[in-house]
Each structure stands twice: as structure tokens, then as C-alpha cells.
A and B are shown apart, each in its own frame.
Chain A
Amino acid sequence: MSSRSSSKLGRSIALHLVLTPLALIWLFPLWMMAVFSTMPDRGIFSPSIELLPHGNFLDNVNNLQRDTNFIGAIGISVSVAVTYTFLSVLLTSMAGWALARYQFVGKGVVVAIILGTITLPYAVVLIPQFIMVARDFKLANTWVALIVPPLFNSLGVLFMRQSFSMMPTDLFDAARVEGVKEWRIFLFVALPLARPMLAALAIILFLSSWNNYLWPLLINSKPGAMTAPVALGTLIGLTKVSWGGIMAGAVMLTVPMLVVFVLLQRHFVAGIAAGAIK
């Protein structure tokens, strides 16, 4: 008995001895991001080792704002991400509902499309998307260009199909017998029941829009139309630029998401894990 509990103690100590250094290494870049964002440039580029925060964050924000209109870019990013999340949640849950609830001609094809596009590299659609949006539709440097093309999302549809098909069908059938229209059943019965799944989906979609880089870089390259990551990216590699400012920008992009992550970790994890469990 005692040997068993002592071996348990040994394993517990070993576990923490492995995990603690790994966790510290993993936190280190985030910690340094925060530290750099509070240091003046001459502090960042000095030979001494600085591992603790200073007090220059607001100065760095000002430096960043002098280098590029970052606050304006944040405004664009927030508006685009909010609109995108709303539309995408609606679109993917409608599609997921159709797949979970109805039998229809061509269902196999629709499922094949969704599964097939998960592993298809985005590179294959990138060039025609760009030609179409920029040249044919003349929508470069608009919000529409940032919001609409990324609305196609396969994992979200699979996730919502899964969520709806786990609900008891009696409820929906009862409403149908009462003569309730299908779109009302969807809006007022199914969606409210799916609230936790919708939250998980919304968080993942918001994050994907907030952090999206390649497409906004290509399509909204005009200074006043850039999203925050694109605006920040233009500064990296320039010579006369405030690195404290860049780090302050990185913090402004990251910390709100970390707060959301901590508050809603369960939904976050559920949303990501759902990608794998079909």
C-alpha cells in the first residue's frame, strides 16, 4: 500500500518536473512580447538582459500610431470580424441544419464538397479569387472583399450538422405537426438549443477573421483599408520604425484574444476539438 502511494508521489513529481519547464518555455515568447511592448527602443536594443516589464507602453502605442494608423486599422478589424462572425455563423448553421434535418437529392455531393475542401490547399483558389474580387468586381480595399470570400467554411458546417443531429427530432416534428414553418423551427427552436455550440463556433470564426493575414494583405493593401495585422506587418522589416511600437501592436492584437480565451476556454477547446471528431 505505502509503496504504491509513494510510487504515485514519484510519478506526480516526475510529471511536474517535465511539464513545468516546458510550460515556461511555451509562455516565454508571450511574456517577452509583453515585456518588449513596455520598453523604449533603446532598451530593446541594448546589450543587457531585460526580463521584466517597464513603463513605456503608452509611449510605444504613440510611436506605433506615428508609424501607421493602427487604431484605425483595429477599428476595421473589429468591424469586419464582428460582421463576418455573424454572417458565417448564420450561413454555416443553416447549411448544417439542412444536412442534419432533411433528406434531399444531391446530399452526398454536398457532403463530398465539404469533406473534399477541408484538405484542399487554399492556394488553389487564391489567384482566381483575387482576380475576380479585384478586377471583375472592383471590390479591392472594401469591407465586402474582406468579409464575403472567407464565408465558405467547411469545418463549421460539419460542427453544426453534428450539433443539430444530436438533438431529439421529436421536438422538431411536434412543431411541424403544429404547422410551424421550417425556417421558424430553425430560428426559434433549433438555434436557441444550439447556443453553446454557436458560441464555440462564433469564437473560432471571430479569431480566424481577426488573425487572417494573407487574403487581407493581398486584397486590402491601401493604407486606409488595411486590417490591423496587415498594418502591423508592413512595419516589420522597415529600418526606421519603432520596435517597441510593433510590440505594443502585437500586444493589442493578442491580449484581447487571450482574455476571451481564458474566459471561454471550454467553448474554445470544444470548437477546435470538434474539427477532428466527425
Chain B
Amino acid sequence: MRYQNATAYRFLAPYLLIFSIFWLWPIISSFLISFQATRTVPWRFAPTFNWGRLIGDPAFFNALKNTLLILVIQVPVMITLAIVMAVLLNSPLLKARGLFRFAFFAPVVVGEVAYSAVFRLMFNLDYGIINKLLNSVGLPRIDWFSNVTPAMGVIMIAVTWRWAGYNAIILLAGLQSIPQDVYEAATLDRVSKFKQFFYITLPLLKPIIVFCAVLSIIGTMQLFTEPFLITERGGPGGGTETLGLLLYRQGFRSLNFGYASAIAYTMAGLAIAISLVQLWLTRDPK
């Protein structure tokens, strides 16, 4: 194939222009800003100003701890649930498939603000439907938003509800790309459905599961709207504050761009580490 530089770049030009202005330069710029003291005008170069503060800031470690806690619990639960949904939706025995697909996939189109409002109302202490239902079966009501553990629970439940179906869509597409004759051969050899799942489905699905896990981890790592709206700015008392929320408060409430950039690059560092783990997990076995 011959080279067609001029034509190719003419098609790429608008895209690369947007990339340069709104991504490439900001990536460089926020790195540089993280080494500047930005609360004085003009900003001055102070390499340890923000990073030094970061490693000694209890608010940062609190947000980091909360974010990692949500990651470690919510992502595996959600991915497991998404695999269950995808496998069951893929069963040829399923009736009313369209209804079930709607139930699980519908949250994908629901906006963060809309569903945050609903979850906040559902988990209201006195009038929330969840506490009313708990009461009606004789269980004590729970003060969801005044204590850290249940508040974290609500965040994780909300995120799982919103994103499990999204992952199930991707996993279902993966399942449907597994050739049927593999299962037919296994059935002829009297391998149980249960064993087929663990010895055929899961290994063949592994790259897609890892992909879903990585996207979910990176998404959850930037969690902002749910602790912002559902638990009221990371409440109670910073108990659900995430890195995303801390970045918002530092960058856009205190207008401390240097410190917020250092937080952003910490998140990027974590994301790069996670992507490297993904590459390692899905490498070609030698």
C-alpha cells in the first residue's frame, strides 16, 4: 500500500486539533501546574509545594483510602454480578428475554444526577422506601447517611446498580462470540453445565472480564457524582470522600489548581499501574 500522508492527515486534522488543544496540552500543563504554588499571583515554581503537602495530608489519605475501599469491594461484586447476568441472559432456555434485558440494561441510559436523586430519596432515614420496607418485615431501620459504613454501602449499591448491566452487555457480546461447537463437544463428552462454565466459558471470557474490570476500576477511581449528591459532599464528615471529590473541592471550591493537579496525577499513576497489570494478565502465554 502506498503512503498517502496528505490525504490521511486532512481527514485526521480536526480530530488531532481537538486532541492537541483539549488533551495533549492539558496533560502536559497539569503536570507542570502540579509543581507550582498556585494560590499566589503570579504562580511560582515550587517543586515540593503540592507534592510535599500531598504526602502529609490526612484528607488525601482519607480520600485515597475511601476510593480504594470502594474499588476493592464494589468492582469484584459488580463484575461477578455482570457475569451472572450475561451467562443467564445468554441461556437458550430463557423466556421473555426482552423484558430481562430491559431490566438489567436500562440503568445504562439513566444519568448520574437522576439516579443519585432517586437513591438519596430511597435511603432517606424517616421516609425512604428502604427503611419502610425493613420496618415492615420487622427489621430495624438504618440511619444510612449518618454513619460511614452504611453510607459507603449506599454508594456501592448505587454504582453497582448503574454499571452492572453495562458490563453485562460487553460480557454478553463476548459470550456470543464463543463458538457453539465447543459446548456441543463438551456436552457429548458428558461434561456438566457447571463444569463447562468454569473450564470453557470463564477462560475464554478472561480477556473481556479483565477489560471490564480495568474500565470499572478506572471509572470508580474517579467517582465524583455519587458522593457529591447522594452522601452530600462526601458525608458524613468526609467518610465517603473520594479522590474525585477531593480534587473537585481543592480545584474548584478552593481554586487551588496546583494541589488539585497533584491529586489528578496521583490518579493517573494509579490508572497506569492498573493498565500495566491488565497487559500482564492478558499477555500471550509463552
Contacts and interface: CB of A to CB of B under 8 A. Distances in A.
A236 B120 contact: yes
Interface stretch (B54-62, B70-78, B97-105): B97-105
A15 B113 contact: no
Could you say which interface size class chain B belongs to?
A: 35 or more
A129 interface: yes
Contact of B121 (A12, A102, A186, A247): A247
A103 B3 contact: yes
A45 B224 CA distance: 28
A131 B257 contact: yes
Interface in B91-120: 91, 93-95, 99-120
Contacts of B103: 22-24, 26-27
Query: Dominant SS at the B interface?
Result: helix
B64 interface: no
B229 to A, nearest CB: 5
Contacts, number: 284
A247 to B, nearest CB: 7
Contacts of A33: 114-115, 118
B188 to A, nearest CB: 13
A157 B264 CA distance: 25
A49 B14 contact: no
B247 A123 contact: yes
Interface string A106-146: 01001001000101111111111111100000000000000
A23 B100 contact: yes
27 contacts: A23-B104, A36-B121, A45-B127, A49-B133, A91-B18, A101-B8, A119-B218, A123-B247, A126-B26, A126-B251, A127-B33, A127-B251, A127-B264, A130-B252, A131-B257, A149-B18, A183-B10, A183-B11, A207-B109, A213-B113, A233-B113, A243-B121, A254-B110, A257-B110, A273-B169, A276-B170, A276-B208
